[in-house]
Amino acid sequence: MQLWPQTALAKSKALATLLLVAAFVLFLVASWLDDGAAYWGYIIAFSEAAMVGALADWFAVTALFRHPLGLPFPHTAIIARNKTRIASNLGDFICEHFLSTAQVMQKLEQMQLPRQVMRWLAKKQNAELMASYTTLAAQHSLTALRDVRAQQFIQETTLTQLKKINVAQFGGQVLQLLTTDQRHQELLNVVLQKISQFVQDPATQEVIAEKIAAELKRTVHIKKLSDYLGDWGTDKIVSVIAREITAVAEDPHHELRYSFHAYIQTLILRLQTDPKFAEKMADIQRQIIENPELTGYVQGLWTQILDWLEHDLQAKDSVLQQKMAAGLRRVAQHILNDPAMQQLLDEKLQQIAPRVIEKYRVRIARYI
């Protein structure tokens, strides 16, 4: 059996009670032994003051939280009766004097938050720590995505959204965007250059020569002549294509460019205004979406991707985690060495932070 309390609060309460009892006993003894001597008066006064002070302190502290002895004395249980108002005032005080937008912004400027974050991320162990946290979150996300209910929800939501897309209007808008500032002509240049590189490739030329020679053998039954004509035909085809591509690339007013532009404009107009063409596009869209083979292929591909991600993320030498950590370090180091980027981050923080602070400082006050 423990005679002395073990917790700090219980010990303090027991000690205070013992001191009050000791003062009371001292008062009784002094009063009983008082023979008129002056020192007994001092002892009695001391013990009285000790008891009155102890009772006053007990009453004052108790009165803050509840009614002393359960009796409803006036001006007691102050905190219990006014806790809502006290909390509101405390929250407002902290909000106005510690979380004002100006004060928080001043602290952020002193901290140089973007630089501090980048310095922290530039350290290898910190970048690896962030990558590991991200990897852990990704693992939990993958576990959820493997659930049949999640897969069914994703599939149904995706198909529903795809069916809502107006392919004709969307395609027309995309093409219209591509034609802005003659971007479609730039795209044509890229395509023509790729074709030129393709036909001038020795392997491609060899395939073309073989196809021409094989076709000639069916009509010209002389092997050497067929091979010669195949090589000669290939050279001619490559020469013509290269010459035509060069002509189109160098001439902004080439006939092919006008034809290409006219075709694109006609296609845009049909996509946006032709109901029959739009219905045809919608029919193609439905066939693609409702194709069971395509659905099965996408589901299989989705499963393979999840398998690969899960296997990699669970490995100790996860490639994704290593790449992520290395990428975070590279970005952080690049920003630390780029004053212009640091200035940009500071400016964005100055723009965004006040709105965030103003929004959440009130919520913090309400929470308090």
Residues 45 and 188 in one domain: no
Taking residues 165-174, report their average pLDDT: 86
Residue 102 confidence (pLDDT): 84
Which one is predicted more confidently, 171 or 122?
122
Residues 208 and 277 in one domain: yes
Residues 125 and 81 in one domain: no
DSSP string across 32-64:
HH--S-HHHHHHHHHHHHHHHHHHHHHHHHHHH
Residue 56 lies in a domain: yes
- Express each pLDDT in 225-236 by its tens digit: 445 555 666 667
- Express each pLDDT in 10-54 by its tens digit: 788 788 888 889 988 988 988 888 877 888 888 889 988 988 888
Q: Is the pLDDT score of 308 beyond 80?
A: yes
Confidence tier at 215 by pLDDT (50, 70, 90): low
> For 187, how many CA atoms within 13 A lie in the half-sphere containing its CB?
12
Confidence tier at 5 by pLDDT (50, 70, 90): low
> For 105, how many CA atoms within 13 A lie in the half-sphere containing its CB?
16
Which one is predicted more confidently, 337 or 85?
337
Residue 67 lies in a domain: no
Taking residues 109-138, report their average pLDDT: 91
Taking residues 348-361, report their average pLDDT: 86
Residues 127 and 86 in one domain: no
Residues 323 and 223 in one domain: yes
Residue 139 lies in a domain: yes
Residues 330 and 348 in one domain: no
Q: Which of 71-75, 179-183, 209-213, 344-348 has the lowest mean pLDDT?
A: 209-213
Residue 266 exposed, middle or buried by CB count within 10 Å (0-12, 13-18, 19+): exposed
> For 100, how many CA atoms within 13 A lie in the half-sphere containing its CB?
7
Residue 20 lies in a domain: yes
Confidence tier at 117 by pLDDT (50, 70, 90): very high
Q: Is the pLDDT score of 1 beyond 50?
A: no
Range of the domain at 39: 11-62
Residues 120 and 235 in one domain: yes
Opening angle at CA 42, ends 39 and 44, nearest 5 = 110
Taking residues 112-119, report their average pLDDT: 90
In 147-274, which ranges are continuous DSSP H helix? 148-164, 167-179, 183-199, 202-219, 223-250, 255-273
Residue 68 lies in a domain: no
Q: Is the pLDDT score of 310 beyond 70?
A: yes
Q: Which residue has the tokens 């439905």?
A: 286
- Express each pLDDT in 92-107 by its tens digit: 788 777 878 888 888 8
Q: Which residue has the tokens 């720590």?
A: 129
Tell me the one-letter amino acid at 139.
Answer: Q
pTM of the model: 0.54
Residue 248 confidence (pLDDT): 76
Q: How far is CA 43 from CA 19, 55, 295, in A?
A: 15, 18, 97
Opening angle at CA 279, ends 274 and 285, nearest 5 = 130
Residues 223 and 239 in one domain: yes
Residue 229 confidence (pLDDT): 52
Distance CA 196, CA 160 (A): 42
Q: Is the pLDDT score of 221 beyond 60?
A: no
Q: Is the pLDDT score of 197 beyond 80?
A: no
Number of domain units in the chain: 3
Q: Is the pLDDT score of 240 beyond 90?
A: no
Distance CA 159, CA 236 (A): 49
Residue 56 confidence (pLDDT): 84
Q: Which residue has the tokens 């939501």?
A: 157
Per the prediction, the chain carries an average pLDDT of 82
- Express each pLDDT in 50-79 by its tens digit: 888 888 888 777 777 777 777 777 777 777
Residue 298 confidence (pLDDT): 85
Residues 206 and 238 in one domain: yes
Residue 81 lies in a domain: yes
Residues 343 and 250 in one domain: no
Residue 72 lies in a domain: no
Residue 4 lies in a domain: no
SS3 4: coil
Residues 260 and 310 in one domain: yes
Tell me the one-letter amino acid at 214.
Answer: A
- Which residue, 268, 290, 263, is CA-closest to 169? 268
Residue 17 confidence (pLDDT): 83
Residues 284 and 266 in one domain: yes
Confidence tier at 222 by pLDDT (50, 70, 90): very low
Tally: H helices and E strands in the chain: 16, 0
Here the tokens at position 289 are 């979406």
